[in-house]
Structure 1
Amino acid sequence: MRAYNSGRILARKDVCRRIVDLYGTEWMVIHRARYHALLLDEATRLGVDIHPGCEVQDVEVRPDSTVVRLHDGRTFAGHVVIGADGLWSQMRRSAWQDHTEPSETGDLAYRGTFSADQLKDMRDEGVDELLEASDVQVWMGPGKHVVFYPLNGGTQYNLVLLRPDNLPPNTRTGVGSLDEMRQTFEGWDPRLTRMIAQLDTALKWKLCHCEELETWVKGSIALLGDACHPTLPYQAQGAAMAVEDGLVLGVLLGRLQQSPELTQDGTKQQALNQVLALYERLRKARTTINVQGALNMRDFFHLGDGEEQVWRDGIMREYNESGAWPEGCRWNWGDVGYERSLLGFDLVVDAGGQFDRWREGREA
C-alpha cells in the first residue's frame, strides 16, 4: 500500500493503515505536515528518543563510535549516524569536504492552499469541474507551469505556480507582488486565473539544486534524501526518494540487528559499515534515474512555442482521445514502463534479498 502527498511519499504499512483510517481508501493524498505528524507519532510509539531544536556543528568518526557535536555543546554518540538534513545539509558540509554547495536553477515557485469550501464559495462552474475531477491538473507554458491537486481527502487543494526566478542572488525566499504573480499567468485558462486571483499572499521560493555526491557513506556515517541526491520537484518524487532511502536503511539495519552471529568477535562496526555501503549500492542507480527524470519533466513542462511544443501537445491530445500513450514516447510522463518502475518497485523485498546475498558472501 502507498500513501501519497505532493511528493508521492511511500509510507510504512502501519502508517498507511492510519492514513486509511483517517481518510478512507478513496483519497490517497495527504498534506506533508499531516504525514510528518503521523511519522512522528509512530516513531514515538516505537520508543525513539527525539530531541527537537538540535543544530549540528560537526561530526567525528572514532574507532568505536561516531560523535555528533551540537552548537549548544551537547554531544551524541552512536554506531551509525544518518544525515537526513536536506539540500543545505550541515552533515554533508561537516563530513564531506569536497561537497558542492547548492546553486540556483533559474526557477522559483509560488504556493497557495485553499480549503474546498473556499473554492466552492467562488460559485464558479469551471472551478467546480476541477474539484469534481479530484485529480492532478497541470497547466504548461513557455518557461513555467502550474499544478493543482487535492489534499486531505479533498478538504483542501494545493496550487503550485512555477515561473522564472527573479529573486536577488543568494536569496532563498522573498515576499512577491500579488499583481506580478497574477500577471505571470495572465491569458492562461480562465479557471486557473480566477483561482490565482483568490490568493492573498505571493511568497516566492527559489528552487536550488546541487550535484549528487559521488559517495553517500563515510565509514559509519550515511546521508539520505536531498542531503546526498537532491532532486527538483518537477516529477514530485523528491520526498518519496528520501523515504525510500530510510526504508532501505531500516530493512538492512534491522536485518543485521536480527543476525547477532554477524557481529560477534568485535566485528560489529565493520558489519555496520558494510551494510551502509550496501545501502548506497542499492539506492544510487534508482535515485540517479529519478534526478534525471525530474530534469526531463522540467523540459516537458516548460517547452517554448515551436515544433517540439506542437508535438508534445499532439501526443497529450492523442492520450486524451485514446487513453493510451503512443509507443516509444521519450517523455517520462508517457513512458508506462518508467512509471511502473518508479512507483511499483518493491523496496522491502529487494532490500531483504540483497541483505541475504551479502550475508551469504560474508559467511562463505
Structure 2
Amino acid sequence: PNAFNCFDFLGIGGALRENAVYIDRLRLMDALSGEEICHIPLDEDFRERFGNPYAVVHRADLHLDLLEACRSSGKVEMRTRHAVCGYRQDENAVFVQVENRDEIEGTALIGADGLRSAVRRQMLDDDPPRVSGHTTYRSVIPTESMPEDLRWNAATLWAGPKCHIVHYPLKGWKVFNLVVTFHNDVREAVAGKPVSREEVEQGFEHIHPRPKQVIDHGTDWRLWVLCDRDPVRNWVDGRVALLGDAAHPMLQYFAQGACMAMEDAVSLSHRCRTEQDLDKALALYLEDRMVRTSRVVIDSRLIGDHIYHPSGAAASVRNSVMRSFSPEDWYDRLEWLYQGGKPEG
C-alpha cells in the first residue's frame, strides 16, 4: 500500500494498477509439515484501513511505466552508458565525473546507483556491503508449470529451518515468481549467476514434498547472495544525496526495498518543491527518511531470523504467537509501515 501512495504522487498509479495482481492474502506455511501457520487477509477491510490494496507487480512492468512517464514528462533527459565515478562541487553547482567522458554540471546530484554506489563510496568512504550468508535462487515460470495445488492468489511463504520458499503470481497470472532462499553462510557476494536445479535442491532436501514441488518445477535458476549495510546517520553531502539502495540497502524479508526507494523519491520531490534553499531541502529529505529506513533495515534482519528461518523450539514459538493474531492485530502491527512514508508525514 505504501508504494501505491508513491506511484499516485508520481502520476503512474493508474498504469501500475493495470499491471498489478491483487492477491487475496499473505500466507505463512510450515515448510516441514506442509500446514498453514497463519494468513493475513488482504480484502476490503485491509484496503479501507490502509487506503490502497496489496498488490504485486513485475519489476519490468514497473520500469517500463517509470520510463514512459519520464519520456512523456518533457523534463527528463536520459543518457545511457554514462558510468558515474565521482563528483566535485562548489556553492553553486555539482560536477559529475563520468568514465571516459567529460564532466556533467548540474544543480544537484542524487546517487541512486545501488548497493555498490560510486557516489556513496566517495561521500562516506565506508566498508563494503555486509554479506548476509543468505543465498537466494530465483526463477519465473509459466502458470501452467506451477503445481495446480499451489496456484494460490496469495503471496506464500514456506518457512523452514535456515530456509524458505516464496511464490506468487505476476503479469496477469501468466507467470509465477519463485524465490528460494537458503541460509548457508556463504561469504562471497554473487549476483545473477546461473545455477542448476540440483544446486538449488541441496538446501531443501529436508522439507515437505508439497513446497519442494516449487523447486522441482523451477527453470533457469539464478543465484544471488544477499547483502545489506548497517544504517548510517547521514547520506547527504552539500548538493549531493543518496537514494534507495545506495543509502540504505536491506534484505528482502520485509519486501520493502523498492518501496523504500520510491518513498525516498517522493520525499525528495516534495522537499525540493516546497523549499527554495537546496541545502535545506536535502537536509529535510534526510530527516524525513533516516529513521524510517533504518527501522526497515533492522527489522528485515530480525524477520529473517525469527519468522523466515527459525528451527526447533523457536519455530514452535513463532507458530504459536502468529496463530494468536487476529487480522486487526496484524493490521495494527503493520500500521507504521503501510501508513508511513507519505510526504506530509
Query: Normalising by the residue count of structure 1, what TM-score does the alignment of the two structures yield?
Result: 0.79
Q: 3-state DSSP class of the match of 1:11?
A: helix
Q: For residue 324 of structure 1, report the CA deviation from its aligned partner.
A: 5.8
Match of 1:93 in 2: 121
Corresponding residue to 1:138 among 157, 182, 200: 157
Alpha-carbon separation, structure 1, partners of 2:155 and 2:19: 21
Q: For residue 115 of structure 1, report the CA deviation from its aligned partner.
A: 1.7
Taking structure 1 as reference, are residues 250 and 234 closer, same or farther at Cα in structure 2, changes over 3 Å only?
same
Q: Which has the higher contact order (CA 8 A, sep 6+)?
A: 2
Write out per-residue CA displacement over residues 66-122 of structure 1, whole angstroms, 9 at most, x where no aligned residue: 01010022221111110001111011112323x221121111100011122332xxx
Q: Is the 8 A contact 2:21 2:171 kept in 1?
A: no
Q: 3-state DSSP class of the match of 1:163?
A: strand
Write out per-residue CA displacement over residues 125-178 of structure 1, whole angstroms, 9 at most, x where no aligned residue: xx32432x3011111111111111121222221110110246573544534342
The aligned amino acid for 1:19 is L
The equivalences for 1:198-237 within 5 A come to: 198-237=217-256
The aligned amino acid for 1:128 is E
Match of 2:15 in 1: 18
Identity %: 28
Match of 1:345 in 2: 340
Q: For residue 23 of structure 1, report the CA deviation from its aligned partner.
A: 5.3
Taking structure 1 as reference, are residues 324 and 66 closer, same or farther at Cα in structure 2, changes over 3 Å only?
closer
The aligned amino acid for 2:136 is A
Alpha-carbon separation, structure 2, partners of 1:346 and 1:181: 36
Taking structure 1 as reference, are residues 229 and 118 closer, same or farther at Cα in structure 2, changes over 3 Å only?
same
Alpha-carbon separation, structure 2, partners of 1:51 and 1:247: 22
Match of 1:154 in 2: 173
Corresponding residue to 1:35 among 62, 72, 90: 62
Q: Is the 8 A contact 2:132 2:187 kept in 1?
A: no
Q: 3-state DSSP class of the match of 1:345?
A: coil
Higher strand residue share: 2
Taking structure 1 as reference, are residues 155 and 310 closer, same or farther at Cα in structure 2, changes over 3 Å only?
same
Q: For residue 236 of structure 1, report the CA deviation from its aligned partner.
A: 0.5
Match of 1:301 in 2: 308
Worse overlay, 154-163 or 186-195: 186-195
Unaligned ranges ≥5, structure 2: 24-53
Unaligned ranges ≥5, structure 1: 120-126, 257-261, 263-270, 326-333, 351-364
The aligned amino acid for 1:278 is L
Q: 3-state DSSP class of the match of 1:197?
A: helix
Give the count of matched residue pairs.
312
Match of 1:253 in 2: 272
Q: Is the 8 A contact 1:29 1:153 kept in 2?
A: no
Taking structure 1 as reference, are residues 291 and 112 closer, same or farther at Cα in structure 2, changes over 3 Å only?
same
Write out per-residue CA displacement over residues 11-37 of structure 1, whole angstroms, 9 at most, x where no aligned residue: 235311112345587783210111011
Q: Is the 8 A contact 2:169 2:177 kept in 1?
A: yes
Match of 1:291 in 2: 297
The aligned amino acid for 2:113 is D
Taking structure 1 as reference, are residues 199 and 339 closer, same or farther at Cα in structure 2, changes over 3 Å only?
same
Q: Is the 8 A contact 1:167 1:174 kept in 2?
A: no
Q: For residue 61 of structure 1, report the CA deviation from its aligned partner.
A: 1.0
The two structures, once aligned, show a CA RMSD in angstroms of: 2.3
Q: 3-state DSSP class of the match of 2:310?
A: coil
Alpha-carbon separation, structure 2, partners of 1:148 and 1:10: 25
Alpha-carbon separation, structure 2, partners of 1:182 and 1:104: 22
Taking structure 1 as reference, are residues 178 and 212 closer, same or farther at Cα in structure 2, changes over 3 Å only?
same
Q: 3-state DSSP class of the match of 2:12?
A: helix
Match of 2:80 in 1: 52
Q: Is the 8 A contact 2:2 2:340 kept in 1?
A: no
Query: Normalising by the residue count of structure 2, what TM-score does the alignment of the two structures yield?
Result: 0.83
Alpha-carbon separation, structure 1, partners of 2:101 and 2:343: 38
Taking structure 1 as reference, are residues 310 and 228 closer, same or farther at Cα in structure 2, changes over 3 Å only?
same
Q: 3-state DSSP class of the match of 1:153?
A: coil
Q: 3-state DSSP class of the match of 1:239?
A: helix
Alpha-carbon separation, structure 2, partners of 1:296 and 1:25: 27
1:275 corresponds to 2:275: no
Write out per-residue CA displacement over residues 310-352 of structure 1, whole angstroms, 9 at most, x where no aligned residue: 1111233445xx6565xxxxxxxx5x333111012261322xx
Alpha-carbon separation, structure 1, partners of 2:198 and 2:210: 17
Q: Report which of the two structures shows the higher radius of gyration computed on alpha carbons.
A: 1
The equivalences for 1:319-338 within 5 A come to: 319=325, 323=327, 325=329, 334=330, 336-338=331-333
